[in-house]
Each structure stands twice: as structure tokens, then as C-alpha cells.
Amino acid sequence: MINAVKSELRKFFTTRLWWGMAIGIFVAAALFAALFALSYTSEGMGGAGGPGGMEGGEVQIANSVYTSGLGIGYLLLLTIGVMQIGSEYRHKTITGTFLSTPRRVQAIGAKIIALLVLGAVYGLISLVGSVAVGAPILAMNDFSPFPDIEVLRSLALALLALGLWALIGFGVGVLIPNQVAALLVGIGFAWIVEPLLGFGLSFWEFGREHLVKYFPSQATNAMVDTVTMAGPNAPENLSWWAAALVLLAWAAVLAGLGALRATRQDVA
């Protein structure tokens, strides 16, 4: 099993995808951290319940700054998840994978472990970018860069969130074997459909209170406990641990369905 995981990681780090993604995720994290840090520390955003329709304390502000690149980050990890299996279908290297590791459960298990590792690796790259840029800006504006140990919890959960998004990508990648279609559907849903649907449902009381908070992107934001929208139509957020469980469930269901299919299918 360790060999199979090593093989999966080597597969990932021997194409150009990995450093392109690394640069993208680092730059996005640094830019968004700067943007968020500047906007939260600008006038009128002093602590909870400030004007501008946002609510959150110093902890939430720090969380928001450090995880502001997460929105781009999880889309990139979703892409990595899709491609870790989709490119194997596309280039037919899945044959070699199953010849090297013929026990399918082992081969797929190795992919899942490798994707969680990649989630953590890219999470660290992202956090290095966002903390390096965000913390000085917060400090310069007299905000505490690390107001509480809770911030560390959010940073750790951000790593997990990225790994789970990679697993969601893996599930989508198996269930839609055409890599391009899988990427369009996956990113299209997470980036466009889900926010629109969430926005639409927020005008409906039941949707606002019982549906929107279980959406994967919504759960991801709740997980890292960021500053939230305030106002009558703002959707309710789950607590960080409930949100983590919800995202875990999304990843488990999608990756589980994908694994079930991948372990049985004919590779012709």
C-alpha cells in the first residue's frame, strides 16, 4: 500500500501540473490575503457587528484573511482530484496502474490517500502565502494576527478541506470519465451553480435555514469560521465541526461512489 501511494505521488509530481498549481495556489492565497486584510482593517470594520453587513470578531477576521485564498484553492484541488483519475482514463495509463497494483481496492485507496496528502501539501503552500502577507498587514493596522488558538484550528481545517475537495474531484472524475466534461461539471457546479443556487434559496426561508448550509462550499467556509454575511437573508452557518462533518460526508459519498465504480469497471 505504501508503494502504491508512493507511485501515485510520483505520478503527480512528474508532470508540469504540480508546479503550475503550486504557483497558482500561492499567488491566489497571497493576493486574497492582502485584499481581505486591507478591507477588513480599513475604517468601519472594527470588530463584530460593524457596518457593511458583515459580522465576526478578531478571530473571524484573522481566519478570513488566512483562508481567503481557499475559494481558489479548493477549485484547484478539485481539479487535481479530477485529473489524478481523469488523465489516467484519457491517456490510458490506468492500464499500467492496475497492472502494477492489480488489487483495485488497494490501487484506489492509494489514490485517495495521495490526494489527502496533496490537499495538505497545497494547503501548506496556500497558508504560507496568506499568513506571510496577511499577518503583517493585520499587525500594521493594530489587529492581532493571532488572536486565539482557534485560528490554528482553522488553518489545520483548511488543509483538511482542500484534501476533501480533492476527493470530491476524484469522485467526479470517475463518475464522468471524460476528463474535460468532469472538470467543467465539477468546477461549474462549485464555482457557479452552487453560489447561484445558494443565493436563490436564501430568499426561501426553508432553503435558507435547512439547505444552503449543507452545500459543500458553504460548509467549507463555515469550517474555517470566517467573517459571515449579516442581514435578514443571510444563510445560517454550521458550527466548524458540523461543517467539517458535512464536507467529509460530501467527499465520502462522491469518492465512495467513484471507488465503487473504479474497482469494478472493465479497463478496455
Partner 1 sequence: MWRMSTSAGARHTGSRLEISNLSKKFGGFTAVDDLTFTVEPGRVTGFLGPNGAGKTTTLRMLLGLVNPTSGSATIGGRRYRDLDNPLGTVGAALEATNFHPGRSGRNHLRVMAAAAGLPNSRVDELLDLVGIPAAAKKRAGGYSMGMRQRLGLAAALLGDPEVLILDEPANGLDPEGIRWLRGFLTHLAGEGRTVLVSSHMLTEVQQTADEVVIIANGRMVRSGTVAELQGTPRAFVRTSDPDTLVGALRVADVTAETTEGGLLVETDDLRVVGDVALRAGLPIWELTRKAADLEQLFFDLTDGTNRNYTGAPAGDPGGPAPAERDAITGQEGANL
Task: Select 6 or 210, whichever has its Cβ closest to partner 1.
Answer: 6
What's the rounded Cα separation, in Å, for the pair 158 and 67?
Answer: 7
Answer for which of 142, 203, 206, 264 binds partner 1 (CB under 8 A) is 264
Smallest separation, CB 110 to partner 1 (Å): 8
Smallest separation, CB 159 to partner 1 (Å): 24
Question: Would you put residue 51 in left (φ > 0), alpha (ψ -120 to 50) or beta?
Answer: beta
- Is 6 one of the binding residues for partner 1 (CB under 8 A)? yes
- Is 4 one of the binding residues for partner 1 (CB under 8 A)? yes
Q: Classify burial at 142, counting beta carbons within 10 Å of its beta carbon; exposed 0-12, middle 13-18, buried 19 or more.
A: exposed
- Residue 255 near residue 170 (C-beta atoms within 8 A): yes
Give me 220's grid cell.
467549507
What's the rounded Cα separation, in Å, for the pair 123 and 200?
Answer: 31
- Residue 81 near residue 170 (C-beta atoms within 8 A): yes
- Is 128 one of the binding residues for partner 1 (CB under 8 A)? no
Smallest separation, CB 69 to partner 1 (Å): 26
Binders of partner 1 in range 53-112 (CB under 8 A): 87, 91-93, 95-104
- Is 267 one of the binding residues for partner 1 (CB under 8 A)? yes
Smallest separation, CB 254 to partner 1 (Å): 24
Task: Select 15 or 178, whichever has its Cβ closest to partner 1.
Answer: 15
- Residue 116 near residue 163 (C-beta atoms within 8 A): yes
Count of residues that interact with partner 1, criterion CB under 8 A? 28
- Is 20 one of the binding residues for partner 1 (CB under 8 A)? no
What's the rounded Cα separation, in Å, for the pair 241 and 245?
Answer: 6
Smallest separation, CB 2 to partner 1 (Å): 9
User: Within a 10 A sphere around the Cβ of 251, how many other Cβ atoms?
Assistant: 27
Q: What is the contact surface with partner 1 in residues (CB under 8 A)?
A: 3-4, 6-7, 10-11, 14-17, 87, 91-93, 95-104, 264, 266-268
